[in-house]
Amino acid sequence: MAIRTKLSNEDRDELTKDVNDLDKVYLEKMKEEGIDPRLLEQFKNLSVEMDKEKK
Three-state DSSP class for residue 9: helix
Burial of 42 (0-12, 13-18, 19+ CB in 10 A): exposed
pLDDT at 1: 45
pLDDT in tens, 10-52: 677 788 888 888 898 899 999 999 999 999 999 999 999 998 8
Burial of 39 (0-12, 13-18, 19+ CB in 10 A): exposed
Residue 53 confidence class, pLDDT cut points 50, 70, 90: confident
pLDDT at 43: 95
Q: What is the mean pLDDT of residues 3-15?
A: 65
